[in-house]
């Protein structure tokens, strides 16, 4: 009897355990899908209107799209009243610099906009520091994880700097071969193409032929040439022609970054530029472009109302220069310079490649690198410099000189954008924020010139609206133009930056599809999903289609909230309720889940 009781107890204990195990197994087995998104209206990436459907995801892939999916899933998302879209693909970002640091791997400012993939290494500046290799960065990002998927470009400027330093000359045959070898190495390691920044240093020093030779290296891989063209002002059309020539001569497709024209005298030139692109496309040349939907430019969008030469005058034309700083550091031995550099370098610990790079740097370049890393001449310039204020005010006390200064300030403002399009961004007098220079002048009852001087002296940060709305909309309507934010992954709250880093994708939907109705909602969705995928030659992302990667955004389009303003550039956008990257939930009811499921998309593997 006693034994029977023991047996019964044993049976009950293990039996129930066994049964519960079975039960659990059957539950797992019955979760046919990882995620099902139910009752949403689906934009699939095409220009078609949204349709009602359920979507099932398993092992990172969209496995079923149907009117109704009833099988159980580990996670069911109700998208009732919401829109479902492919995750957004950002054709042009500089987030790699921020993502380099573990704190910013998630790129939360982009996840909150619905971005699931970023193309980095833009404007001639590689996604990795000059001393690193593409393969090293890809290894770290793959092992430690990243928020959005990323495809890397190698920067022409970075390559040129490694081989020629900052010298303004053509490369020798040998140097060109070295540059080609570096581009090829990056392509072998998984880079997706080459980028140029032909207005920046040292990219500006490169002639068309040099770029053609380097793009020829990426062409056989199926690489794509992304370019910040040589001129976005009066010579826009020539610059577009050069980009097309590079594509024709090299055999690689060309993608024009942040397509626009800046400056009042040049507004309207985009029509001629688009005509050139369209003629090339009609001839079978692969030319595409991207755009950010704002009227102001630059990562740091603020500009002085008083040009530097007018502010400093002839008495003190340049103030402290980089050359002065080099003189200071030229007294130190190489080893001392490297030790100083290591104390402030953000790249810690110094990698083997980094150390090799430092050791191999010619003396002059080492002095320059260390000097510019430690001291910025800009710290001693501008309205924050008591010395420069005093010199400026002294000149203003001379009536003749003051009139000359006023005249030059007015010319500067008129040539740039005019007083009605120069906006006060941040100001100690908060009531002026958001007002134009012309409005502030009227409020204060002063001339434009004297208002500009007053604002400048009180440290106001002003933003010139350098692009015209008509031009933005003209470009946006084109079917060969995608979305590229040109933003960064900043430390949250740190630094004054362009609001595009936080709001590009939802702003484009809200302003241009919903409010102004410049383009349809499906046009905007296509421009930031299937179209960029087509530019990058991807046939497994950018669409809501069975068999495609489950990069999916669930959008509450009626409740998009853009919280940035030009006086407060750091604020996460609202409107993305759920976001899946490679099938993993990264935003759950708008909240970040802490996951880093992004993959580095390598060209070589394809």
Kindly state whether residue 123 participates in binding Zn ion, applying the rule CB under 5 A. yes
Q: Position of tokens 């990264």?
A: 586
Which residue number, 436 or 488, has a Cβ lying nearer to Zn ion?
488
User: Could you tell me the strand order of the sheet in which 254-256 lies?
Assistant: 154-155, 193-197, 224-228, 254-256, 287-291, 481-483
Which residue number, 123 or 413, has a Cβ lying nearer to Zn ion?
123
Shortest distance, position 485 Cβ to Zn ion, whole Å? 11
Kindly state whether residue 500 participates in binding Zn ion, applying the rule CB under 5 A. no
Kindly state whether residue 153 participates in binding Zn ion, applying the rule CB under 5 A. no
Which residue number, 481 or 513, has a Cβ lying nearer to Zn ion?
481
Structure tokens at 86: 């492919």
Kindly state whether residue 310 participates in binding Zn ion, applying the rule CB under 5 A. no
Kindly state whether residue 423 participates in binding Zn ion, applying the rule CB under 5 A. no
Shortest distance, position 262 Cβ to Zn ion, whole Å? 12
Shortest distance, position 498 Cβ to Zn ion, whole Å? 12
Contact 314, 322 (CB under 8 A): no
Shortest distance, position 231 Cβ to Zn ion, whole Å? 12
Kindly state whether residue 226 participates in binding Zn ion, applying the rule CB under 5 A. no
Which residue number, 247 or 485, has a Cβ lying nearer to Zn ion?
485
Contact 93, 120 (CB under 8 A): yes
Which residue number, 91 or 214, has a Cβ lying nearer to Zn ion?
91
Q: Position of tokens 């203003």?
A: 396
Kindly state whether residue 229 participates in binding Zn ion, applying the rule CB under 5 A. no
Contact 224, 446 (CB under 8 A): no
**How many residues sit in the footprint of Zn ion (CB under 5 A)?**
2
Over the window 540 to 579, marking each residue x when it contacts Zn ion by CB under 5 A and - when it does not, the resulting string is: ----------------------------------------
3-state helix, strand, coil in the chain (%, to 5): 45, 20, 40
Contact 227, 257 (CB under 8 A): yes
Q: Is the preceding omega at residue 309 within 30 degrees of 0, hence cis?
A: no
Over the window 403 to 422, marking each residue x when it contacts Zn ion by CB under 5 A and - when it does not, the resulting string is: --------------------
Which residue number, 125 or 564, has a Cβ lying nearer to Zn ion?
125
* Number of C-beta neighbours around residue 149 at 10 A: 23
List of residues 6+ apart from 161 with CB closer than 8 A: 130, 202
| Helix residue ranges per DSSP H, 165-269 | 173-188, 208-218, 236-250
What's the first-to-final CA gap in the chain, in angstroms? 70
Which residue number, 256 or 462, has a Cβ lying nearer to Zn ion?
256
Contact region with Zn ion (CB under 5 A), list: 222-230, 248-256, 325-333, 405-413:
222-230
Rounded to whole angstroms, the Cα distance separating 448 from 459 reads 17
Shortest distance, position 486 Cβ to Zn ion, whole Å? 6
Contact region with Zn ion (CB under 5 A), list: 119-127, 218-226, 275-283, 343-351:
119-127
Shortest distance, position 257 Cβ to Zn ion, whole Å? 5
Shortest distance, position 155 Cβ to Zn ion, whole Å? 11
Shortest distance, position 99 Cβ to Zn ion, whole Å? 18
Contact region with Zn ion (CB under 5 A), list: 111-119, 203-211, 221-229, 415-423:
221-229
299 beta partners: none
Contact 199, 228 (CB under 8 A): yes
Q: How many residues does the chain have?
A: 606
Selected binder of Zn ion within 97, 228, 260, 599 (CB under 5 A): 228
DSSP letters, 390-457, are HHHHHHHTSHHHHHHHHHHHHHHHHHHT-GGGEEEEE-SSGGGTT-BHHHHHHHHT--HHHHHHHHHH
Contact region with Zn ion (CB under 5 A), list: 224-232, 282-290, 550-558, 590-598:
224-232
3-state secondary structure of 215: helix
Shortest distance, position 245 Cβ to Zn ion, whole Å? 19
Contact region with Zn ion (CB under 5 A), list: 72-80, 116-124, 262-270, 318-326:
116-124
Kindly state whether residue 120 participates in binding Zn ion, applying the rule CB under 5 A. no
Rounded to whole angstroms, the Cα distance separating 386 from 472 reads 41
Shortest distance, position 228 Cβ to Zn ion, whole Å? 3
Shortest distance, position 202 Cβ to Zn ion, whole Å? 15
Contact region with Zn ion (CB under 5 A), list: 37-45, 104-112, 123-131, 233-241:
123-131
- For 277-310, b/e burial (b = at least 16 CB within 10 A) is beebbeeeebbbbbbbbbbbbebebbbbbbbeeb
Contact region with Zn ion (CB under 5 A), list: 117-125, 160-168, 207-215, 460-468:
117-125
Contact region with Zn ion (CB under 5 A), list: 215-223, 226-234, 272-280, 353-361:
226-234
Angle, helices 322-329 vs 363-374, to 10°: value is: 110
DSSP state of 260: -
Shortest distance, position 184 Cβ to Zn ion, whole Å? 24
Kindly state whether residue 498 participates in binding Zn ion, applying the rule CB under 5 A. no
- Phi/psi-derived region of residue 396, left when phi > 0, alpha when psi is between -120 and 50, beta in every other case: alpha
Instruction: Summarize as ranges the residues that interact with Zn ion (CB under 5 A).
Output: 123, 228
């Amino acid at each position: 009897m006693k034994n029977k009781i023991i047996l019964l107890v044993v049976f009950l204990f293990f039996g129930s355990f066994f049964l519960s195990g079975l039960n659990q197994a059957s539950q797992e087995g019955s979760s046919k899908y990882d995620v099902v998104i139910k009752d949403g209206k689906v934009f699939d990436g095409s220009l078609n209107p949204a349709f009602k459907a359920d979507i099932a995801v398993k092992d990172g892939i969209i496995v079923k799209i149907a009117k109704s999916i009833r099988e159980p899933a580990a996670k069911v998302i109700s998208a009732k009243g919401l829109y479902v879209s492919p995750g957004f693909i950002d054709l042009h970002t500089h987030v790699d610099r921020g993502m380099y640091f573990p704190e910013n791997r998630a790129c939360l400012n982009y996840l909150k906009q619905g971005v699931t993939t970023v193309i980095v290494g833009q404007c001639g500046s590689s996604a990795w520091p000059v001393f690193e290799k593409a393969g090293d960065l890809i290894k770290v990002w793959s092992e430690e994880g990243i928020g959005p998927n990323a495809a890397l470009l190698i920067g022409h400027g970075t390559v040129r700097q490694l081989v020629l330093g900052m010298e303004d000359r053509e490369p020798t045959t040998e140097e060109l071969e070295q540059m080609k070898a570096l581009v090829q190495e990056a392509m072998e390691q998984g880079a997706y193409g080459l980028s140029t920044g032909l207005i920046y240093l040292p990219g500006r020093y490169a002639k068309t032929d040099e770029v053609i030779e380097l793009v020829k290296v990426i062409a056989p891989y199926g690489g794509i040439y992304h370019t910040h063209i040589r001129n976005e002002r009066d010579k826009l059309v020539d610059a577009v022609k050069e980009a097309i020539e590079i594509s024709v001569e090299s055999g690689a497709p060309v993608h024009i970054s942040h397509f626009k024209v800046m400056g009042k005298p040049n507004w309207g030139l985009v029509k001629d530029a688009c005509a050139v692109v369209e003629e090339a496309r009609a001839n079978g040349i692969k030319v595409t472009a991207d755009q950010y939907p704002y009227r102001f430019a630059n990562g740091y969008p603020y500009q002085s109302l008083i040009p530097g030469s007018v502010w400093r005058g002839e008495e003190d034309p340049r103030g402290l220069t980089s050359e002065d700083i080099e003189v200071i550091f030229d007294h130190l031995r190489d080893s001392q310079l490297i030790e100083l550099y290591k104390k402030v370098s953000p790249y810690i610990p110094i990698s083997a490649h980094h150390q090799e790079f430092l050791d191999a740097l010619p003396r002059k370049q080492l002095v320059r690198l260390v000097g510019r890393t430690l001291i910025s001449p800009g710290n001693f310039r501008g309205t924050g410099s008591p010395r420069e204020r005093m010199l400026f005010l002294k000149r203003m006390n001379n009536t003749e000189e003051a009139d000359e200064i006023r005249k030059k300030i007015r010319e500067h403002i008129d040539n740039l954008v005019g007083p009605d399009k120069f906006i006060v961004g941040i100001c100690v007098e908060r009531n002026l924020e958001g007002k134009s220079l012309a409005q502030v002048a009227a409020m204060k009852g002063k001339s434009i010139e004297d208002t500009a001087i007053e604002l400048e002296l009180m440290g106001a940060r002003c933003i010139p609206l350098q692009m015209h709305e008509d031009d933005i909309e003209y470009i946006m309507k084109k079917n060969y133009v995608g979305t590229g934010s040109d933003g960064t992954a900043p430390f949250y709250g740190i630094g004054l930056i362009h609001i595009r880093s936080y709001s590009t994708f939802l702003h484009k939907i809200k302003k241009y599809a919903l409010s102004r109705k410049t383009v349809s909602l499906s046009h905007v969705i296509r421009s930031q999903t299937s179209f960029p995928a087509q530019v990058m030659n991807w046939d497994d992302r950018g669409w809501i289609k069975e068999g495609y990667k489950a990069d999916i955004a669930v959008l509450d389009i009626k409740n998009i909230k853009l919280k940035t303003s030009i006086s407060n550039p750091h604020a996460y956008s609202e409107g993305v309720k759920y976001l899946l990257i490679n099938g993993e939930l990264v935003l759950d009811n708008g909240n970040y889940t802490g996951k880093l499921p992004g993959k580095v998309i390598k060209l070589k593997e394809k």
